Amino acid sequence: MERSVVVGILGLGTVGSGVIQIVNDHQQELMHQVGRPISIGKVLVKDKEKPRTVLIDKEKLTEEPADILHNPDIDVVIEVMGGVQEARDYILQALKNKKHVVTANKDLMALYGAELLKVAADNSCDLFFEASVAGGIPIIRGLTEGLASDRITQMMGIVNGTTNYILTKMDQEGRDYAEVLKEAQELGFAESDPTSDVEGLDAARKMAILATLGFSTDVALEDVVVRGITTVTTEDMEYCRQLGYVLKLIGLAKRQEGRIEITVQPMLLPDNHPLASVDNEYNAVYVYGEAIGETMFYGPGAGSLPTATAIVSDLITVVKNLVLGVNGRSISTPLFAKELKSDEEVEAKYFLRLHVKDETGTFKALTSLFAQEDVSFEKLLQWPLEEEQPAAEVVIITHTTSRAVYERIYNALENMDVVIDIKSTYRVEGGHQ
């Protein structure tokens, strides 16, 4: 029998425990897949005496990174410790020591992916990161292998389970943001500090990774226009429903004539759009290719076993490459120079909710402003408000316009005498444009 492929694991939290469980429980299937046994050599932990939820020989636990990174018996390093700088240092050391690496670290790959991939290629090592985006959904392998022959023009999706859970409960149960966030934290769907999720940063990191791979260009995190969900209200969702839309936090990456746009923000989707029915903590990514047309990847976006499944799938690929002697050859550098769209080139429809004075001339002033910018209304609703002064609530969905034009309109509305308050505004997406 061929010698066992030995794995070192950096971190033994929820995901690391899931990896060990799958490797231990699926030995027969793994042996069938790769023709070699796979064993756990060492696992880096902070405290060897801490009680564990997964069965593992205590002798395999270590508090010294060198026991994995400089161990000549370890072939593959799996990084599930989280964080950025320390994880980067460890992965760089592993690659320089000719060890293949599998990581689930989206923050790391969004910030240092290009550097790590170059070091991996220089050392003929594999570096795989399927689990860094959308948990157990094989979206990265889908882009780099399944759709490798196509030219991807657009990717849009729900890539953060925490925010999708919050927006689903607000929409379906009419509860406010703060109440649902507290519930999500109690259930373990949201961190005690939810900033990365609710401000859209987690989703932005994932979209930077997807855009880099899907468009074969070097997209940085700062290239992503980001807006979170903290200002979304149940009133907004009610109006969306009345107009035939659902409000979701959407990651969107578009490429047109070589120029790209990447954004994460709350968006209105038609209620018959495939992403509109993706609820709770589930993730989904809609991909458009010139040849294949439309495809969608759907499934659990987080959790111990779904994420661990993606990690072990990457591990299987590493071992298959090891058997064939082709490690490091699947890493490719970006093909195209990055060209971002300007605000004048980014086009969309917009939802706008205003409180205005209910008096003669108000509607004329509003329509004149939009007409000056050559922007027409697709939908318009108006209701009286019960306040001391005569006032009305106006909800508008515009026809397609550029982001630059819409920002001019928005700024002008803030300074109009007839406008009492701008309650909310969101982008509207209907699919491939």
What amino acid positions are annotated as catalytic residues? 206
Task: Report d(CA 14, CA 7) in Å as an integer.
Answer: 18
Write the DSSP string, 353-368. EEEEE-STTHHHHHHH
Can you say whether the dihedral through the CA atoms of 62, 68, 74, 78 is positive or negative?
A: positive
Closest CA to 358 of 391, 381, 396: 391
The string of DSSP codes covering 290-354 is TTTEEEEEEEE--SHHHHHHHHHHHHHHHHHHHHHT-TTTT-----S---BPPTTT-EEEEEEEE
End-to-end CA distance of the chain: 55
Which helix (H) or strand (E) segment holds residue 383: the answer is: strand 377-385
Which two three-digit tokens encode residue 126? Answer: 């594999």
Residue 398 burial by CB count (10 A; 0-12/13-18/19+): exposed, middle or buried?
A: buried
HSE at residue 63, side-chain half, CA atoms within 13 A, is: 5
